[in-house]
Amino acid sequence: MSDIIKSDFLLYNSPSGDVKIEVFFQDETIWLTQKKMAELFGVDRTVITKHLKGIFETNELEEKSNVQKMHIPKSDKPVKFYNLDVI
C-alpha cells in the first residue's frame, strides 16, 4: 500500500442535495474512506466495516490492490481509502 502523491479532489452531491461526499480521484477511479462510504449509503460505519471484512476474507476482491493508505490533514497516521471496485 502506498501513499497517493497526486490526486484530484471531487465533491459528489446527491440529486436531493442531502448527501455531499468528498472523494479523491486518481488512476481513473474514486477513493473513499469507510466513514465517507457510510455517509454515502446512509449507514453506520460498522456496517461498512463488516461488509469490507467479508469481501476481503472471501477473496471477492484483493485488499492489496483495492486499498491505499493516504495521509490527510489533521491525521496523525495514514487513513485507508478504498477504490470504486470496493465501494
Q: Tell me the CATH class for 8-83.
A: mainly alpha
Answer whether 9's CB lies under 8 Å from 21's CB: no
The pLDDT of residue 71:
84
The pLDDT of residue 21:
82
Upper half-sphere CA count for residue 15 (Cβ side, 13 Å): 0
> pLDDT tens string for the chain (87 positions)?
444 444 566 677 778 877 778 888 888 899 999 999 999 899 999 999 999 999 999 999 999 999 999 887 788 899 999 999 999
The pLDDT of residue 82:
97
Spatial distance between the Cα atoms of 31 and 65, rounded to a whole number of angstroms: 12
The pLDDT of residue 7:
55
The pLDDT of residue 9:
67
Model pTM? 0.79
